[in-house]
Structure 1
Amino acid sequence: MRKPYSRSHANRGAVLERLIDMTNQQYRNKGVADIRKVPTPVQIQSNIRGKVTGYTQKGEWVDYSGVFDGRAVIFDAKETSNKTSFPLNNISDHQFDLLKSWHQKGAQAFLLVSFTKLDEVYLLSFKVLEMHWEDAQKGGRKSIPIGAFQSMCESVKSKRGYVLDYLGVMG
C-alpha cells in the first residue's frame, strides 16, 4: 500500500534543485557545460478523455547528468534539515551504485548536499561518499558528520556570476 501524499516530502529538495537549475541554465548560456535535470519517471494508471492519473516511480537514476570540459558529470542533489550530519539513508543503493559505476569509468560523480538550517551547500565527491558508505556497510556510523563536510568537501557558493557555482569547486 502506498503512503498518503505528503506535501513536505514532495517539495523536499525543491529549493536546492531550483538553484541548480538556474546555475545549469547559466552554464549552458555561457557555453561552459550542458548539465540537465533528469525527469522523474511517471507510471500512467489511466487516461480517460484526456484526464491522466498516475504516480511517480522510484527512479533508477540520479537528479542530474551532462558534460563539462569534455567529461561526463553525474550527481544528485540532497537536502537535510539536520545541523550536525547528513544521514546516509538519504541515498538509495541504486543511486550509490550508479555514481560508483560512472566514477569508475571516469565521470565526475558527486552529491550536492545542502544543510538547510546552516545555509551551507557542499560538493561531496564520490571518493569521500564511498569512504563513509563503506564504513557504514561494515557497521560504522550511518551518517557523515558536518565536520567531515567542512574538512573534506568543497563549500559551494554563489560566485563568478553563477547562482551556485559547483563547477568552480569541482576537483
Structure 2
Amino acid sequence: MVKSRTYANRGMQLEKLIEATNKMYRATGFADVKKVPTPVRITKNVGGRINGMVVKGDLVDFVGVCQGRAVIFDAKQTATRTSFSLSNIATHQYETLMSWWRQGAYTFILLYFSEHGEHYMLDMQVLSMYWQDAQRGGRKSIPYDVIASQCELLQASEDYQLHYLKVLE
C-alpha cells in the first residue's frame, strides 16, 4: 500500500483540541479566542456553484483576548523527534507574530511534537532568537532539547483539555 503524502489534515486533531479548550475559555469567561478563517477569493459563481481559491493571508491561526490582553498564535505539529523546522513557519506568520508581540500582545506558537505526545508553548523570545540566526545562515530548526527545557510544557488542567493560557491566570 502506498502511503499518502498529503499534509492537508495534518493539524486537524491539534486544532480540534484547541477549539475544545477555546469553547471552555468562552464558557468560563476566562478568554475569547477564535480560529481565523482561511481567506478564499471567489473566482466564479454560476447557478449556485461556487469556485474559489485560497489566498495568502496576513494572520495566523488564532486570535483573541484573555484578561484584557490580546492573544495571537499559530498552531504547528511536527512528527520529527529531534527538532522543529523553522520552514514550518511562513515569513508572514513570523512577521505578524512579531508585530503583535512588539505591541504587547501575548504571542506564541502552540507546538505539538506528535512523536513525543507533547504540546509546548514556543514563546517569541526563543522563536525570535532562532529565526534571526537562521536568517544569518545559522541553524534552520530549534532542537527539541531547547524547546523541552526553555518552553512551557502544556497539559490538561481542570476543565481545559489543553490549558495553553494558564500562564495568564
TM-score tier by shorter-chain length is over 0.9
Cα distance change of structure 1 residues 121 and 8 upon mapping to structure 2, 3 Å threshold:
same
Question: 1:59: Cα distance to partner?
Answer: 1.7
RMSD: 1.5
TM-score when normalising by structure 1: 0.93
Give 5+ residue unaligned stretches, structure 1. Answer: 1-5
Partner of 1:3: none
Alignment check: 8 A CA contact 1:36 1:65 kept? yes
Matches within 5 A, 1:6-155: 8-155=6-153
- Aligned partners of 1:170 and 1:122: how far apart in 2? 15
Match of 1:10, SS state, is: coil
Identity of aligned pairs, percent?
Answer: 51
- Aligned partners of 2:59 and 2:164: how far apart in 1? 20
Match of 2:18, SS state, is: helix
Question: 1:44: Cα distance to partner?
Answer: 1.1
Q: How many residues align?
A: 166
Alignment check: 8 A CA contact 2:66 2:168 kept? no
* 31-40 vs 157-166, which moves further: 157-166
Runs of 4+ in 1 over 2 A off after TM superposition: none
